[in-house]
Structure 1
Amino acid sequence: MFKEIKIRPLRWLAILVYFVILFFCAIELNFLWLFGYTPEMDDIRNPILSVSSEVYFADGKLIGKYYRENRSPVSIDSISPNLINALVATEDVRFYKHGGVDMYSVTTGLWSTAKGDRRGASTITQQLAKNLFSTRKRKSQGLIKHVPFFRTVVFKIKEWLTAYKIEHVYDKKKILELYFNTVPFGNNSFGIKTASLKYFHKNPNEVNPAEAAMLIGMLKATSTYNPINNPEKALERRNVVLRQMEKYEFLKKPEADANIAKPLGLDLSYVDQNSTGDSYLRQAVEKWLKKWCKENDYDLYEDGLKIYTTIDSKLQQYAEEAVAEKMRMLQRRFYNIWGDKNPWRDSKGVEIKDFLLKAEQRLPIYALLKKKYNGDTVQIQNYFNTKKKMTVFTWKGERDTTMSSVDSIKYYTKLLNTGMMTMEPSTGKIKVWIGGIDYKYFKYDHVNQSKRQAGSTFKPFAYLTALDNGYSPCDKFTDKPVSINYTYEGKKETWSPNNADWNFTYMDMSLRWAMGRSVNSITAQVTEKVGWDKVVEYAHKAGIESPLKAIPSVSLGSNDVSVYEMVRAYSTFLNKGKKVDPLLVTKITDNRGKIVAEFTLKEEQVISPETAWLMLYMFRGGMEEPGGTSQALWEYNDLWKKNNQIGGKTGTSSDYVDGWYMGITKDLVTGIWVGDDDRSVHFTTSESGEGSHTALPIFGSFMTKVYNDPKSGYTYGQFPKPWVKINKKYDCPSPRLHIDTGEVDTSWAPIDTTMTPTLEPTGPVNIP
């Protein structure tokens, strides 16, 4: 066929054109599955902006969806000409002249790139093809994706083919409309309506040239030119767009100059009242899957996935009920203690005078106000003191009110919060996840985002270290003053801890009694004997991932850790010494029901089964030893049927800032933190602020609800019998209490640890 063409250059050109056409056809038809899927004409005529993914409880009940409902579509007639002009001037000045692909721009772009001035040549229609049909995503790729340069060529040709199809189906106005409704603008804003409301509290038909230029300028890089995080760069980019509008005669020079002189003029006061369905749990799943989605090129918000979690819907409900019940009570207690006084205090109890000012300065809007008013603090304070209508969280439901920003800071700072997680150590499955008291008003997740001082809930890692290095639960130490000299970062220090009640009994105590009663002096001695660096090592072994300072006070919980880490580490004891990677998701299917991922238990033996079992025996001491700090659980009668056993550890940080409870049953480990988001706001006394009075009641209420539901799947029962032969002495005699006086009998008469004590010791022995 080509031999008939006598002129050689024309013949070679014809051959080239022929093979180019064949190549395009092969891509369009996905020949031999080499090139992946290319949108068909039906796809173009009926575009789907996104398919929401759904996330489920373990029993199949729907938790929520991942969707971009804020991609609110608007017609082209509702979009300001300023936006259209800014887009065309910046992204595709020949938009009205090409048929989807601008070959002139492609040619000049290649020539510029060859000279070292790389610039893109994608048209608005090509960008729409990528936004609508994800032509570069995994599911649009074939075997050719493994060939780097060739892969890029194929991607680009797919965009061209899709762009030509779009231009064949739609006119230019409709293409612009589709583009504006699908393009992302950062800060989880998709589509021009959401973006204009988000940044200027205006509808898309109301924006002026400067505002339009800023929005269009963001399209080059939504993070780099984000006006909230990078206002200087956003302003610079906006002015580039305005000059482009001037260059292509969409603006006259005086008008362009006037708009360039304007500040950004952000108005971030818009609140989307229709944003529903979000929760701590939904966000936790998204975070848990973030790496997987990136590695596998999935978008939770668009790809119609079905995600099956490990969360038990009944247990989650019982936990939420327990949290609401007890936190409401704790909040009343907190208000009663402080009354009209401000609770933000330093370690000596003195009110922090500049607290509110610093709280204002931490808000994102403060920097914008500072720029707007050129640092005029009077005008800034006028803004914060001006009363506004707002809806606030209360334990009686949302309340519409009028208050200033300062009043709002005061109000929310006084609200206590919590984090709670329950895990089944044998499977690694997370059964309960509560990130706070209300996700709508408190986005910060107190399970895995927040890290706080663990207080005495960290002490078990000192006893773990001791048991794994020659000690037994029956070994005795004396409760007496102790001073430890050490060097940290080149400085010589001395540490002399007090007990929580500021008293020393001078009694010999077994390790089990000391841990159960949470005696600081003995924990310090144990830490000195085994080495604080060893305690850090064992904490990391068990599952703590946060950095820990290797200093003597490490065992008293001086470091910040998360609820997630603590539950994981405590689960190691119930899981026969095997550390697990907690599971939040078991499987994921695509929108056709095909399984695309399954997640299974990963565990590692980190301590011996003998030591793990001995630690469970130690935890029971909190209930069974005189003065055990978990004994407030005896008030929950329904917990103690059928000889049920529970182990646990309370924790309280200095000044009653953080209250903790770590509870262990034969099946589950639960971690709970209670406190204020600001550490300078806290309770004032042990009776109100210790973990045994804040976090423990939530655990008691939760487990009562679980046990009272015969269908929960979790029953009463004793801790497991030893998994292996126990070579160390552990069934050691415990002191008894004198019935008449409530005093501890130091004669060490044996005690039946399966019996429920009928009398607790008097005096301040409930040590955090």
Structure 2
Amino acid sequence: MAKKKETTNKAKAVDFSKYIRWFWILFASGILAFILLFLLASWGALGEMPDHTRLENPETNLATEIISSDGKTLGKFYFNDNRTPVGYENLPKHLVDALIATEDIRFYDHSGIDGRGTLRAIFKAGTGGGASTISQQLAKQLFTDQVSKNRIERALQKVREWIIAIRLERQYTKEEIIAQYFNIYDFGNNGDGIRSASRIYFGKEPQDLDLKESAMLVGMFKNSSLYNPRRNPVGVKNRRNVVLAQLHKYEFISEEVKDSLQATELDLNYTPESHREGIATYFREYLRSFMKDWANDKKNRKPDGSKYDLYRDGLKVFTTIDSRMQTHAEKAVELHMPRLQAEFDNQNTPKRNPTAPFLELDKSEIDKLLRDGMRRGERWRILKKQGKSDKEIEASFYEPLEMTVFKWIDGKPGEVDTIMKPIDSMRYYKSFLRPGMMSMDPQTGHVKAWVGGMDYRHFKYDMVKQGKRQVGSTFKPFVYATAIDQLQISPCDSFPRSPITIEAEKYGNPEPWTVENDNGNYSGVQTLKDALATSTNTVTARLMNEIGPQPVVEMAKKLGVEQEILPVPAIALGTPDISVYEMVAAYSTFANKGVYNRPVMVTRIEDKNGTVLYQFTPESKDVLSEEVAYVTVNLMEGVTQGGSGTRLRTKGYDKWRAEYREIITGYPYEFSNPIAGKTGTTQNHSDGWFMGMVPNLVTGVWVGAEDRAAHFKTITYGQGASMALPIWGLYMKACYADESLNVSKDEFEKPSELSINVDCSVVSKNDQPEDTDLEDDIEDFSDF
């Protein structure tokens, strides 16, 4: 009996050892399979794996950044990824702490895989929190698919993420991994990467984020689509508070700080970054064309011979635009244009003007104008591309549609949803007065501000460089400068106001040209200084008759005017169509002692690594002697001392209501420093100009409608002094208030040798103008 029991125990012992053997076989097989799985994954058998080169240079689309002269980001060029990377040193500590506390508290202790977190996730089936480290999440963002179809695929993807995470840990420091993770994540609303996200949601750079803002952005890592602060502010606040709780849990912040911040609102400062929004939109569109031309030039190729991609290669474009001056310029437009538009609309009600917004046009002329507009428009181009016939396209303009249109709302650019026929929307948009404005440092050629319109979303045509309009009396300084250069005449020399007829046959015009003065005053004589100040046409015509039109055309060309100008006497009164861009460059030559500087908008271009790809080369040339330039400037100073620009000196009028002064900040201007300038008004009051200069800043402003047939009925509002000069005045007041800009209040520098007399203090009373109509202008303008 005992022997039988002993045999049974031995049998049991043998059977147990067999199980142990199989256990170790299976365990070893599992380890080998696990190792084989990792090897296969690392060899790429489970899907493409990044090599050393890709790990060193991950493929991410980087937006091209446009940087102002004062170091601010004006905007970006991108297709889908609005991404501009920042270094770890530009991330605030509390932002990094929030990420560590929320996503990977043992980040600094592991080498890519958190073993404890992984085991916890396995044994708790994911209910105890995720196991992905920051390194794994970065690997997923950079190198693996974002969504897997099933659990097996997800498991295999997880293996790839582990391997890539380990490689990333070997390739980069912990700080570099954190920076990459912040830079790669899509925070929604074009917030690709932490820099775009902080600018879009809070209007600031990452290093300027406060603790609760950092907590909100880190909270979005869980799911930026779900936790979108614009669509789900309550959920985002709750998620932010979870991040703050994690910071307290791991003793990054005190309980008091946590409680106080959890009670606050999100306090967003939503600042969208798109091609149609932000500041300097018209300049940025010009810059896009500039950059495309630069990239297409074979001299500007990558080392491998390929072209730079404006939307993906992360270029940095350093511009001359000053963000402060650009903001002042746009604000000046925003202050003046709605008031001017309100008066224009008041004068063009259907009762007062049945053909509104057009004047002097009959129905057939208006119909032709609108039909021509149809064929030039985007709607016609799109429908034509779809194969529609001309008759079908034209008919579509008379079918009511839902649309969003521009409107001044409480003095600011806005939009309203409406139902309107496209043909009616065309007439509606043609009723708007539009501005064009450019400001430039004459000594360097650097363009400081560029306002091509009042709202790029609805008025895309740039009135700085694309638009060319009649310049009116702003052309007269070119005539005066040519006459001074050729005849050595003085601003104090007198000429009769009497009418003059020029026999123009030799200029290709069979009819003689008789010149009249707008104010009908032909008595007595005027000094050149007074004649330019009051825009006396007959005096300018006399100068033209003395020197001939060809030298004036040549002078305009040397001053930078690119347009072809017919050499006929009538150009003396400003018949040529010229852009604001050309006019500012030309006037800058006078302020720069006769030296023309080609306008500069881009100073350099760098690639994403900071390598300089382009450095601008100044282009300048001597056009006038320093003496002639100074005398011309002295003449134009008379415009603001006793002519149409005198209102820049005013201290206000009794008729102006106190509440009106509060509404229009900056009126009146009360400038006391030297200012040279010239107003311009074209035929039928279609265009209003003001060119204004101080020693280190020249600014040109144009205002008018898209079509010349839309204009003010009288000169009261339809003159440069009413349409354009106020924008210049408001802009300059803001620039002077900002002392960091160092805009000059000094006198224009006088040449050491000046042979032409500019001191007209001894001119007799009989030589002075009898009536400049200035008081009438002031009274008319006082209700505006």
Q: TM-score, normalised by structure 1?
A: 0.62
* 1:542-577 C-alpha deviation (Å, 9 max, x unpaired): 121111111001121101100000000000011110
For 1:425, which of 420, 439, 442 is the aligned residue?
A: 442
The amino acid that maps onto 2:692 is G
Return the alpha-carbon distance in structure 2 between the equivalents of residues 732 and 680 of structure 1: 41
Deviation at 1:376, TM superposition (A): 7.4
Asked whether the 8 Å contact 2:62–2:312 carries over to 1, the reply is yes
- Give the aligned partner of residue 707 of structure 2: 678
For 2:511, which of 473, 493, 507 is the aligned residue?
A: 493
Secondary structure, in 3 states, of the residue corresponding to 1:500?
A: coil
Q: Percent identity between the aligned chains?
A: 37
Return the alpha-carbon distance in structure 2 between the equivalents of residues 45 and 592 of structure 1: 13
For 2:344, which of 334, 338, 346 is the aligned residue?
A: 334
Asked whether the 8 Å contact 2:314–2:608 carries over to 1, the reply is yes
- Give the aligned partner of residue 408 of structure 2: 395
* 1:572-616 C-alpha deviation (Å, 9 max, x unpaired): 011110000111112222101122222243211111000011111
* 1:183-233 C-alpha deviation (Å, 9 max, x unpaired): xxxxxxxxxxxxxxxxxxxxxxxxxxxxxxxxxxxxxxxxxxxxxxxxxxx
Residues 1:724 and 2:752 are matched in the alignment = yes
Unaligned runs of 5+ in 2: 1-49, 83-271, 302-307, 653-665
For 1:611, which of 628, 634, 637 is the aligned residue?
A: 628
Residues 1:477 and 2:495 are matched in the alignment = yes
Unaligned runs of 5+ in 1: 1-38, 72-271, 737-744, 750-756
Return the alpha-carbon distance in structure 2 between the equivalents of residues 715 and 332 of structure 1: 34
- What does 1:35-54 align with in structure 2 at a 5 Å threshold? 42-43=53-54, 48=59, 50-54=61-65
* 1:23-81 C-alpha deviation (Å, 9 max, x unpaired): xxxxxxxxxxxxxxxx977549997363211001111110111111299xxxxxxxxxx
- What does 1:297-446 align with in structure 2 at a 5 Å threshold? 297=301, 298-340=308-350, 341-343=354-356, 345=358, 352-354=365-367, 355-366=369-380, 377=391, 379-396=392-409, 397-446=414-463
- What does 1:272-291 align with in structure 2 at a 5 Å threshold? 276-277=276-277, 279-291=281-293
Residues 1:61 and 2:89 are matched in the alignment = no
Q: Alpha carbons of 1:310 and 1:540: their partners in 2 closer, same or farther (altered >3 Å)?
A: same
- What does 1:76-115 align with in structure 2 at a 5 Å threshold? none
- Give the aligned partner of residue 466 of structure 1: 483
- What does 1:191-210 align with in structure 2 at a 5 Å threshold? none
Asked whether the 8 Å contact 2:649–2:670 carries over to 1, the reply is no
* 1:150-199 C-alpha deviation (Å, 9 max, x unpaired): xxxxxxxxxxxxxxxxxxxxxxxxxxxxxxxxxxxxxxxxxxxxxxxxxx
Asked whether the 8 Å contact 2:491–2:527 carries over to 1, the reply is yes
* 1:655-689 C-alpha deviation (Å, 9 max, x unpaired): 11111000011221000000011222111110011
* 1:374-400 C-alpha deviation (Å, 9 max, x unpaired): 7574x5454212221111111111111
Secondary structure, in 3 states, of the residue corresponding to 1:468?
A: helix
The amino acid that maps onto 2:288 is E
- Give the aligned partner of residue 293 of structure 1: 295
Secondary structure, in 3 states, of the residue corresponding to 1:586?
A: strand
Deviation at 1:412, TM superposition (A): 0.8
- Give the aligned partner of residue 506 of structure 1: 523
Return the alpha-carbon distance in structure 1 between the equivalents of residues 746 and 495 of structure 2: 32
Residues 1:630 and 2:630 are matched in the alignment = no
Return the alpha-carbon distance in structure 2 between the equivalents of residues 728 and 498 of structure 1: 29
Q: Alpha carbons of 1:509 and 1:426: their partners in 2 closer, same or farther (altered >3 Å)?
A: same
Asked whether the 8 Å contact 1:424–1:430 carries over to 2, the reply is yes
Q: Alpha carbons of 1:304 and 1:618: their partners in 2 closer, same or farther (altered >3 Å)?
A: same
Residues 1:515 and 2:528 are matched in the alignment = no
Return the alpha-carbon distance in structure 1 between the equivalents of residues 341 and 364 of structure 2: 20
Residues 1:562 and 2:579 are matched in the alignment = yes
Deviation at 1:636, TM superposition (A): 6.0
Residues 1:526 and 2:505 are matched in the alignment = no
Return the alpha-carbon distance in structure 2 between the equivalents of residues 425 and 516 of structure 1: 23
Q: Alpha carbons of 1:725 and 1:342: their partners in 2 closer, same or farther (altered >3 Å)?
A: same
The amino acid that maps onto 1:706 is C
Secondary structure, in 3 states, of the residue corresponding to 2:510?
A: strand
Asked whether the 8 Å contact 1:633–1:700 carries over to 2, the reply is yes
For 1:699, which of 717, 720, 728 is the aligned residue?
A: 728
- What does 1:535-684 align with in structure 2 at a 5 Å threshold? 535-625=552-642, 628-635=643-650, 643-684=672-713
Deviation at 1:631, TM superposition (A): 1.3
Q: Alpha carbons of 1:405 and 1:708: their partners in 2 closer, same or farther (altered >3 Å)?
A: same
Secondary structure, in 3 states, of the residue corresponding to 1:746?
A: helix
Asked whether the 8 Å contact 1:643–1:717 carries over to 2, the reply is no
The amino acid that maps onto 1:292 is W
Asked whether the 8 Å contact 2:505–2:511 carries over to 1, the reply is yes
Q: Alpha carbons of 1:449 and 1:367: their partners in 2 closer, same or farther (altered >3 Å)?
A: closer
Q: TM-score, normalised by structure 2?
A: 0.60
Asked whether the 8 Å contact 2:696–2:743 carries over to 1, the reply is yes
Return the alpha-carbon distance in structure 1 between the equivalents of residues 288 and 274 of structure 2: 20
Q: Alpha carbons of 1:350 and 1:506: their partners in 2 closer, same or farther (altered >3 Å)?
A: farther
Deviation at 1:486, TM superposition (A): 1.5
Deviation at 1:372, TM superposition (A): 7.5
Return the alpha-carbon distance in structure 2 between the equivalents of residues 55 and 535 of structure 1: 39
Return the alpha-carbon distance in structure 2 between the equivalents of residues 419 and 413 of structure 1: 16
- What does 1:182-261 align with in structure 2 at a 5 Å threshold? none
Deviation at 1:488, TM superposition (A): 6.8
Deviation at 1:405, TM superposition (A): 0.7
- Give the aligned partner of residue 741 of structure 1: none
Deviation at 1:337, TM superposition (A): 0.7
Count of aligned residue pairs for this structure pair: 511
Return the alpha-carbon distance in structure 2 between the equivalents of residues 577 and 531 of structure 1: 21
- Give the aligned partner of residue 118 of structure 1: none
Return the alpha-carbon distance in structure 2 between the equivalents of residues 673 and 518 of structure 1: 18
Asked whether the 8 Å contact 2:332–2:727 carries over to 1, the reply is yes
Which deviates more, 544-553 or 480-489?
A: 480-489
The amino acid that maps onto 1:477 is F
Deviation at 1:454, TM superposition (A): 0.4
Asked whether the 8 Å contact 1:344–1:351 carries over to 2, the reply is no
Return the alpha-carbon distance in structure 2 between the equivalents of residues 762 and 394 of structure 1: 34
Deviation at 1:368, TM superposition (A): 6.5
Secondary structure, in 3 states, of the residue corresponding to 1:601?
A: coil
Asked whether the 8 Å contact 2:492–2:757 carries over to 1, the reply is yes
* 1:210-259 C-alpha deviation (Å, 9 max, x unpaired): xxxxxxxxxxxxxxxxxxxxxxxxxxxxxxxxxxxxxxxxxxxxxxxxxx
Q: Alpha carbons of 1:40 and 1:456: their partners in 2 closer, same or farther (altered >3 Å)?
A: farther
Structure whose alpha-carbon radius of gyration is higher: 2
Return the alpha-carbon distance in structure 1 between the equivalents of residues 390 and 288 of structure 2: 41
Return the alpha-carbon distance in structure 1 between the equivalents of residues 463 and 407 of structure 2: 19
Q: Alpha carbons of 1:348 and 1:629: their partners in 2 closer, same or farther (altered >3 Å)?
A: farther
- Give the aligned partner of residue 102 of structure 2: none
Asked whether the 8 Å contact 2:503–2:511 carries over to 1, the reply is yes
The amino acid that maps onto 1:539 is A
Return the alpha-carbon distance in structure 1 between the equivalents of residues 405 and 573 of structure 2: 37
Asked whether the 8 Å contact 2:717–2:723 carries over to 1, the reply is yes
Q: Alpha carbons of 1:342 and 1:734: their partners in 2 closer, same or farther (altered >3 Å)?
A: farther
Return the alpha-carbon distance in structure 1 between the equivalents of residues 561 and 469 of structure 2: 13
- Give the aligned partner of residue 76 of structure 1: none
Deviation at 1:346, TM superposition (A): 6.1
Secondary structure, in 3 states, of the residue corresponding to 1:459?
A: helix
Deviation at 1:735, TM superposition (A): 6.6
Q: How well do the aligned residues superpose, as a CA RMSD in angstroms? A: 3.3
The amino acid that maps onto 1:60 is G
